[in-house]
Amino acid sequence: MESVNLAIIYYSATGNVHALARAAAEGAEKAGANVRLRKVAETAPPEAISAKADWSRHLQDTADVAEATGDDLGWADAVLFGTPTRFGNPASQLRAFIDTLGGLWFQGGLADKVYSAFTASNTLHGGQESTLLALANTFYHWGGIIVPPGYTDPIQFKSGNPYGTSHVAGEEAPGEVALQAARYQARRAVDTAAALKVGRTALGVR
């Protein structure tokens, strides 16, 4: 298989999306990909963070995770974005990072890559699908190749979301079904990116 570079870029306030991102990294590495796990910068005011113990704790626990830059997307053949849902949309922290990528987009540096996304919400039907669809709108503008998990593996009939891995947080961390779905989604993205690389090489196109 062609070697694939996969960037997993996520925002997580209290750790649920971070857990999904780590599972995705495991799945991608098992599929033979080179993986960069990157968080986006926290932009919430300190007083908001300190008012919620698990938010403050997670920020400290992930201090060693490198922050995403445009270079990570330029390097990648495939990119997975992870975000909590905020009123049916991606978190503002992730959107703020995406809004820094205009220069790379203008140079064509975001086109023809594989993109996929995953999310978590606090409640059932809490905007998961609309959050993933909102990210897909961005991928369209970039000229990306969107690869959802669909119902292409038995785990998807257990997780139930063909748009991307999702988790209903409540008070619980992602369980094994959600983690398996994240691993599968990453593997599917990697396999698709590898097939595209083989095809492009065979055709002599970049």
Structural contact between residues 128 and 119, judged by C-beta atoms closer than 8 angstroms: yes
Q: What domains does the chain contain, in order, with CATH numbers?
A: 5-203 (3.40.50.360)
- Chain segment 158-195, per-residue pLDDT in tens: 999 999 999 998 768 999 999 999 999 999 999 999 99
Q: Which of 45-49, 109-113, 162-166 has the lowest mean pLDDT?
A: 45-49
Report the distance separating Cα 171 and Cα 123, nearest Å: 10
pLDDT of residue 206: 72
The pairing of beta strand 78-86 with beta strand 114-121: parallel
pLDDT of residue 204: 85
What are the backbone dihedrals phi and psi of residue 12, each rounded to the nearest 5 degrees, phi first?
A: -145, 130
Indicate the helix (H) or strand (E) that contains 25. Answer: helix 16-30
Q: Of 201, 200, 197, 199, give the one whose Cα is nearest residue 3.
A: 197
- Chain segment 9-21, per-residue pLDDT in tens: 999 999 999 999 9
pLDDT of residue 171: 65
- In the chain, the percentage of residues whose pLDDT exceeds 70 is 99
pLDDT of residue 128: 96
Amino acid at 184: Y
Report the distance separating Cα 50 and Cα 52, nearest Å: 5
pTM: 0.95
- In the chain, the percentage of residues whose pLDDT exceeds 90 is 88
